[in-house]
Chain A
Amino acid sequence: IAGITQAPTSQILAAGRRMTLRCTQDMRHNAMYWYRQDLGLGLRLIHYSNTAGTTGKGEVPDGYSVSRANTDDFPLTLASAVPSQTSVYFCASSDSERNEQFFGPGTRLTVL
């Protein structure tokens, strides 16, 4: 593994289903982030974690939850997916919240 990986690459999901998007980094970065990217709206922060064991809400947290049990992994869970959660999801990390963020390749999620 080099950098940040996300899984799955893409997913089609029925509304009401539960889904977890996975994110793993091997750079030992303290801070990790989840964004969604929608046409015309740019990247919007969903949740973040400044260090293992802590999480915080971003701009659009409703309908999403995260956990940070260790430094490397930062999964994003949709408890009950809705069509408005159709988007491209990017995970990112940085060695400090003050520094540049490195982005994963993204997960394209479609909720029908």
Chain B
Amino acid sequence: GQNIDQPTEMTATEGAIVQINCTYQTSGFNGLFWYQQHAGEAPTFLSYNVLDGLEEKGRFSSFLSRSKGYSYLLLKELQMKDSASYLCAASDNDYKLSFGAGTTVTVRA
């Protein structure tokens, strides 16, 4: 089975940086996904890491350490529209995704 842990809530100020941590324990591992989900909407893909290291995509970056079973999503220059839930998901041996419960990020003016 899979165990995906991430914080429940985080609050930050507009323009600041927030780091969302995710730890995972999986039966096999084929990559780590991050999704963004605004309230009442569907999840949308943000990033995918399969090798160790940092992947940067504009204001968002994602990091993976396979040996530590650890990932983080870094949101820079926070904007009000970044207020959302961020979902960490690990892909197992059969490429099935197991999701964490999500981290709700609130951006304050």
Contact = CB atoms under 8 A, between A and B. Distances in A.
Interface stretch (A11-19, A64-72, A78-86, A96-104): A96-104
Nearest to B40: A106
12 contacts: A42-B99, A42-B100, A43-B43, A43-B99, A48-B96, A97-B95, A97-B96, A98-B30, A100-B45, A100-B48, A101-B45, A103-B42
Interface string B70-109: 0000000000000000010101001111111110000000
B90 to A, nearest CB: 12
A42 B97 contact: no
Contact of B102 (A35, A42, A59, A90): A42
Interface residues of B, number: 22
A105 B42 contact: yes
Given A40-B101, A42-B101, A105 B41 contact: yes
A58 interface: yes
A7 interface: no
Given A42-B101, A43-B87, A58 B42 contact: no
A41 interface: yes
A44 B1 CA distance: 12
B44 interface: yes
A44 B44 CA distance: 16
Contact of A103 (B44, B94, B98): B44
Interface string B34-58: 0000000111110010000000000
Contacts of B99: 35, 42-44
B29 interface: no
Given A42-B87, A42-B102, A101 B97 contact: yes
